[in-house]
């Protein structure tokens, strides 16, 4: 038996006793659950009943984890959407994985049991009401086809209890039928008796074609079962089971006046449950688990593999850049070409051997059920792909089609084009979006589209080449005219730009005197033309599909084309093959994607679409950065356009894409350590969230210190507004405050500022006054760079960590308080999210100011105006005005409230860099007077706002902070001495003045 930990984990909050949560110790053994999920004996675990669901968990959950799992399971039971905020370090990912997989197993078993009970009830009905059933089918025989095909028995929809995909192989069909039969037996649902099989075989033999063809195919439409009106009970039972839904309706209609003979109230309740389940009866939802980055995806896979006992078919969706193993494609970036372009070109010219053998990787035993890499990440499949010289990218996509749990960055789910290309099917499946604090912005980006004049030129050139080849001439000409029209308009002088930001000019529609419809008519984009373009797109897509099918499957028709090439959103190609004799040319994938993207937004922006008011059309112009370089080359340079011109279709409403996801998914679960404030999600995403949960931190309240300070050491109010940040007195007092904290804070320290401009201004002033030198006397100083490559930032971060590692050897712990490092960063910057500053890497987070979005940024201005207009429309509607919102158009927060929420969400994200696990400790310091106001504190995450201490005097705050640092550092010293067996370690150096 697995022992239950004697000491409960109760840090940072308590969980009330709940009858829905109970605990049972279970032996660590290998158990095969329904839906292909197994419980391995490789990971010791406890089993808990949470909300009526068995959940296997590797240790005794924290109260916050129990709360999360209970909350999530209740939402999944009701097929509802929910939001869960749980601080970083509280075991959120582990709780989400175990709860969702436990529910999935339980749901599958319940569905199989429901089907079995329904079948049993139908058999009882037929046995005790034979004359009634015979009369019913006699009546049907007078008015309908008296035969029913075997196809009706075994066909089904993917993801349901019987899932058979017939093909051209009779042997495969028989195997599939046997598989369906075995699955039925596993749930005690053997719906085919020996007598019925005799009828099937006899009917099939009677209908055998004279030439003998199709004799082995039980799927033939000619192979039918004829039910005579004098049929036996067994035959009537099978007939009733074949038309299970119709039979259930018939019995329930009879039960309205009298319960049929042989049935009980419990039987009728079973049939009602079957009817209530509707088309989802027997459905086994797949889980799509999305997070922000591929790195976070890898962390989730590691949690599932290392810490949970659940084993099932999984897959990870990644990009070509991460998974391509072809040397030529990987070297493409050195020539300015993307891996996507090179990959697509290699496949088009039939020069990619890994692609041709990717199914070898799909069948690799290590990746199979029970294999050592049954749960794999991108690194695993790339390593195996290299060993077998088989493509990991296409192998991963195929495995995702049958996986029960699919991991991916969440933009794969949000972006409609990427979603279709990846083969993601949302219908009645579960969507979990972790790190979802940026989901509103990500959804707006997914629903928007931008195209440059350079891209339009390439599209026109591509189409011109197809016209020269006499391929779909009219269709390609129509697209070429569209590209030329938009490019000429962008490059012309007719646009009046009303926004100017340095050298960037922007014009936005609708204007006071020109609507978006007026602009579209000016560009000849009438509804009729858009409809013709859609037809042209379908013809072009069909041509590309046929060409690729002929290349990949020379002996098959386009109808059997490999579905991996249906929509290459992830990558481009170079159009025609380098060897024209081998294949028919077609436009590049980049051009194909551009047509699709343009038409997708054009369908929304026209006045006939209900989302038309949610879009803004913009034209942007800025100097071409390549122009200066070309001028250096002088006469050797090629012609370079002086400006870059962009046509933008910006959606102000993330619900444009998110509403579609919510309408299809079984449930959507939004989670993050910093969702607060929660006010805007339902209205912004146009989705109803039936429940929300704000979990407590697992860290004991004594292990973190949160405070806001109104004034600096010399009494200057610390209010980092635009008007005050230029004052030298403010800059100096802020420098003194940071220096004082740095002198007392042990180990690592993060300081966040609202912008790079303010950070640069403060550092320049502190260097002049000597405050920066004072900080450097105590800590090594690092500044987050504006811009730069990801590698440059990672190198800087490594230097910061190594600086802290040097002063954290066990033998040097007595001197830790005197050294360390400080990292100055910016809210929403690279250091503000997704980076683990655990333990001594961050003992203090200092927050300067409130990071409101750039007030004059064009998109911010438009979004605020849009929310104000929608908010006022909703107010007018509620007051009885004739203005009414559509049922899908929920009222939004006004522009000012939306603007505020963006700022506080960024603050909460920065606060989460500290306190990464239950034994961690640290301080959160708000050097901003506005965080002494209760209404601003209320916008912080729950785990912070309940412990915020407010100080008017910096000296008072410093004293209490010193006490906290000394107490926690002594604890660390004691722990270190116990670890190395030293009883007498000096703590004199830890006494702080």
Q: What is the pLDDT of residues 285-311, one digit of tens each?
A: 999 999 988 889 999 999 999 999 999
Q: Decide: helix, strand or coil at residue 84.
A: strand
The answer to whether 839 touches 920, Cβ cutoff 8 Å, is yes
The answer to whether 76 touches 666, Cβ cutoff 8 Å, is yes
Q: Which of 88, 12, 68 is nearest to 909 (CA)?
A: 88
In the predicted model, what is the mean pLDDT of residues 543-554?
79
Q: Which residue has the higher pLDDT, 828 or 561?
A: 828
Question: For residue 775, what pLDDT band results from cuts at 50, 70 and 90?
Answer: very high
Weakest-pLDDT range from 22-31, 550-559, 566-575: 566-575
Distance CA 544, CA 575 (A): 10
Distance CA 242, CA 236 (A): 10
Edge-to-edge strand ranges of the sheet holding 691-694: 314-316, 405-409, 287-291, 430-433, 667-672, 82-85, 691-694
Alpha carbon distances (Å) from 895 to 17, 583, 867, 887: 42, 55, 5, 21
Residue pLDDT, tens place only, 502-513:
899 999 999 999
Q: Which of 823, 817, 813, 847 is nearest to 745 (CA)?
A: 817
Longest Cα–Cα distance in the chain: 104
- Beta strand pairing status for 310-311 and 38-39? antiparallel
Q: Which residue has the tokens 């050897």?
A: 809
The beta strands (E) that lie in 416-535 are given as 430-433, 449-452, 499-501, 504-509
Question: Tokens at residue 134, please?
Answer: 């015979």
Does pLDDT of 170 surpass 60? no
CA terminus-to-terminus distance, the chain: 53
The beta strands (E) that lie in 480-610 are given as 499-501, 504-509
Q: Decide: helix, strand or coil at residue 567.
A: coil
Question: For residue 176, what pLDDT band results from cuts at 50, 70 and 90?
Answer: very low
Q: Which residue has the higher pLDDT, 560 or 320?
A: 320
Question: Tokens at residue 125, please?
Answer: 């009905």
Nearby residues of 409 by Cβ (< 8 Å), 6 or more positions away: 290, 291, 292, 293, 294, 297, 317
Distance CA 870, CA 874 (A): 6
Question: For residue 229, what pLDDT band results from cuts at 50, 70 and 90?
Answer: very low
The answer to whether 102 touches 54, Cβ cutoff 8 Å, is yes
Please report the pLDDT score of residue 159 as a whole number.
42
Distance CA 880, CA 46 (A): 57
Distance CA 505, CA 953 (A): 47
In the predicted model, what is the mean pLDDT of residues 234-247?
87
Q: Decide: helix, strand or coil at residue 838.
A: coil
In the predicted model, what is the mean pLDDT of residues 966-974?
87
Distance CA 915, CA 840 (A): 10
Distance CA 450, CA 749 (A): 40
Residue pLDDT, tens place only, 659-679:
999 999 999 999 998 888 787
* Percent of residues, the chain, with pLDDT higher than 70: 77
Write down the H helix ranges in 606-680. Answer: 625-633, 655-664
Return the H-helix or E-strand segment holding 311: strand 310-311
Q: Which residue has the tokens 């112009």?
A: 621
Using omega within 30 degrees of 0 as the cis cutoff, is the peptide bond preceding 615 cis?
A: no
Q: Which residue has the higher pLDDT, 182 or 797?
A: 797
Q: Decide: helix, strand or coil at residue 369.
A: coil
Return the H-helix or E-strand segment holding 67: helix 63-77
pTM of the model: 0.83
Alpha carbon distances (Å) from 35 to 77, 111, 286, 402, 866: 17, 10, 10, 12, 46
Nearby residues of 424 by Cβ (< 8 Å), 6 or more positions away: 288, 317, 400, 406, 408, 412, 413
- Residue 488 sits at the vertex; the CA angle it makes with 483 and 490, to the nearest 5 degrees, is 95
- Residue 287 sits at the vertex; the CA angle it makes with 283 and 289, to the nearest 5 degrees, is 165
CB count, 10 Å around CB of 920?
21
Identify the sign of the CA torsion 195, 198, 199, 200.
Answer: positive
Nearby residues of 717 by Cβ (< 8 Å), 6 or more positions away: 710, 711, 724, 730, 929
In the predicted model, what is the mean pLDDT of residues 706-721?
95
Q: Which of 21-35, 331-345, 512-526, 629-643 has the highest mean pLDDT?
A: 512-526
Please report the pLDDT score of residue 922 as a whole number.
93
Nearby residues of 54 by Cβ (< 8 Å), 6 or more positions away: 47, 48, 102, 105, 106
- The DSSP annotation for 776-823 comes to HHHSEEEEPPSS--HHHHHHHHHHHHHHHHHT-SGGGGGGGGG-EEEE
Does pLDDT of 117 surpass 60? yes
Question: Tokens at residue 807, please?
Answer: 């002063």
In the predicted model, what is the mean pLDDT of residues 309-336?
85
Residue pLDDT, tens place only, 861-913:
999 999 999 887 655 555 444 334 444 556 788 999 999 999 999 999 999 88
Using omega within 30 degrees of 0 as the cis cutoff, is the peptide bond preceding 510 cis?
A: yes
Average pLDDT, the chain: 80
């Amino acid at each position: 038996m697995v022992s239950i930990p004697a000491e409960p984990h109760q840090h940072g909050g308590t969980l009330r006793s709940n009858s829905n949560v109970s605990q049972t110790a279970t032996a660590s053994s290998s158990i095969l659950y329904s839906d292909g999920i197994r419980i391995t004996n490789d990971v010791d675990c406890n089993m808990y009943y949470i909300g009526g669901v068995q959940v296997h968990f590797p240790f005794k959950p924290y109260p916050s984890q129990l709360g999360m799992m209970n909350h999530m399971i209740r939402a999944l039971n009701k097929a509802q959407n929910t939001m869960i905020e749980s601080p970083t370090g509280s075991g959120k990912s582990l709780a989400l994985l175990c709860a969702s997989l436990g529910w999935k197993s339980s749901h599958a078993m319940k569905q199989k049991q429901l089907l079995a009970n329904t079948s049993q009830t139908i058999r009882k009905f037929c046995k005790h009401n034979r004359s009634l059933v015979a009369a019913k089918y006699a009546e049907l025989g007078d008015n309908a086809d008296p035969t029913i095909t075997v196809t009706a028995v075994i066909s089904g929809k993917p993801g349901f209890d019987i899932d058979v995909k017939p093909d051209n192989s009779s042997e495969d069909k028989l195997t599939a039928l046997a598989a369906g039969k075995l699955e039925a037996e596993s749930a005690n649902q053997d719906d085919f008796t020996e007598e019925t099989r005799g009828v099937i075989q006899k009917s099939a033999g009677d209908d055998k074609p004279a030439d003998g063809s199709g004799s082995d195919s039980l799927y033939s439409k000619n192979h039918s079962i004829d039910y005579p009106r004098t049929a036996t009970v067994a035959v009537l039972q099978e007939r009733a089971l074949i038309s299970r839904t119709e039979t259930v309706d018939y019995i329930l209609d009879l039960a309205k006046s009298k319960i049929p003979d042989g049935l009980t109230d419990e039987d009728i309740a079973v049939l009602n449950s079957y009817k209530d389940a509707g088309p989802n009866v027997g459905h086994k939802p797949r889980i799509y688990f999305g997070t922000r980055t591929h790195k976070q995806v890898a962390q989730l896979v590691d949690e599932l593999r290392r810490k949970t006992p659940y084993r099932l078919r999984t897959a990870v969706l990644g990009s070509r850049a991460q998974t391509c193993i072809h040397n030529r494609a990987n070297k493409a970036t050195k020539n300015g070409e993307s891996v996507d372009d090179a990959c697509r070109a290699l496949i088009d010219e039939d020069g990619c051997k890994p692609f041709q053998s990717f199914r070898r990787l799909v069948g690799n035993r290590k990746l199979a059920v029970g294999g050592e890499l049954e749960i794999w990440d991108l690194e695993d499949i790339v390593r195996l792909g290299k060993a077998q010289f088989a493509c990991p990218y296409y192998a991963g996509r195929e495995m995702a089609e049958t996986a029960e749990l699919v991991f991916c960055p969440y933009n794969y789910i949000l972006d409609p084009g990427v979603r279709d290309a990846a083969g993601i099917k949302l219908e009645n499946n579960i969507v979990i979006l972790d790190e979802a604090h940026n989901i509103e912005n990500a959804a707006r980006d997914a629903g928007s589209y931008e195209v440059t004049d350079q891209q339009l030129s390439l599209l026109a050139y591509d189409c011109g080449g197809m016209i020269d080849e006499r391929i779909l001439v009219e269709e390609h000409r129509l697209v070429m005219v569209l590209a030329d029209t938009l490019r000429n308009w962008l490059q012309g002088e007719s646009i009046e730009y009303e926004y100017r930001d340095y050298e960037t000019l922007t014009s936005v529609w609708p204007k006071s005197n020109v609507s978006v419809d007026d602009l579209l008519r000016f560009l000849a984009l009438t509804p009729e033309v858009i409809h013709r373009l859609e037809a042209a797109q379908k013809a072009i897509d069909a041509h590309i599909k046929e060409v690729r099918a002929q290349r990949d499957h020379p002996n098959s028709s386009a109808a059997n084309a490999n579905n991996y090439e249906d929509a290459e959103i992830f990558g481009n190609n170079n159009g025609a093959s380098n060897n024209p004799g081998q294949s028919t040319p077609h436009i590049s994938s980049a051009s194909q994607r551009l047509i699709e993207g343009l038409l997708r937004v054009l369908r929304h922006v026209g006045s006939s679409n209900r989302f038309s008011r949610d879009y803004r059309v913009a034209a942007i112009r800025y100097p071409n950065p390549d122009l200066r370089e070309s001028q250096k080359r002088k006469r050797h340079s090629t012609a370079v356009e002086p400006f870059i011109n962009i046509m933008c279709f910006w959606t102000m409403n993330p619900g444009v894409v998110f509403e579609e996801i919510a309408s299809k998914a079984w449930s959507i679960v939004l989670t993050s350590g910093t969702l607060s404030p929660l006010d805007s999600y339902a209205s912004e995403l146009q989705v109803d969230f039936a429940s929300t949960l704000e979990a407590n931190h697992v860290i004991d309240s004594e292990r973190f210190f949160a405070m806001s300070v109104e004034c600096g050491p010399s009494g200057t109010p610390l209010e980092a507004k635009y008007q005050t940040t230029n004052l030298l007195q403010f800059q100096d007092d802020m420098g003194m405050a940071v220096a004082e904290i740095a002198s007392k804070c042990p180990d690592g320290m993060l300081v966040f500022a609202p912008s790079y401009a303010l950070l640069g201004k403060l550092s320049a002033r502190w260097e002049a006054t000597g405050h920066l030198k004072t900080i450097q006397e105590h800590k090594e100083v690092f500044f987050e760079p504006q811009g730069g490559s990801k590698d440059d930032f990672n190198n800087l971060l490594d230097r910061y960590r190594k600086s802290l590692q040097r002063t954290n050897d066990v033998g040097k712990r007595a001197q830790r308080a005197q050294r360390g490092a400080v990292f100055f960063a910016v809210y929403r910057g690279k250091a503000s999210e997704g980076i683990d500053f655990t333990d001594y890497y961050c003992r203090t987070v200092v927050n300067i100011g409130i990071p409101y979005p750039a007030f004059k940024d064009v998109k911010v201005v438009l979004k605020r105006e849009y929310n104000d207009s929608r908010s006022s429309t909703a107010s007018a509607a509620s007051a009885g005005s004739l203005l009414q919102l559509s049922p899908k158009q929920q009222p939004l927060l006004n522009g000012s409230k939306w603007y505020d929420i963006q700022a506080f969400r960024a603050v909460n994200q920065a606060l989460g860099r500290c306190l990464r696990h239950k034994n961690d400790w640290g301080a959160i310091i708000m050097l901003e007077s506005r965080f002494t106001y209760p209404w601003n504190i209320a916008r912080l995450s729950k785990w912070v706002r309940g412990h915020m201490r407010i100080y008017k005097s910096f000296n008072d705050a410093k004293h209490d902070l010193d006490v906290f640092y000394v107490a926690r550092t002594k604890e660390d010293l004691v722990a270190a001495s116990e670890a190395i067996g030293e009883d007498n370690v000096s703590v004199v150096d830890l006494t702080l003045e």
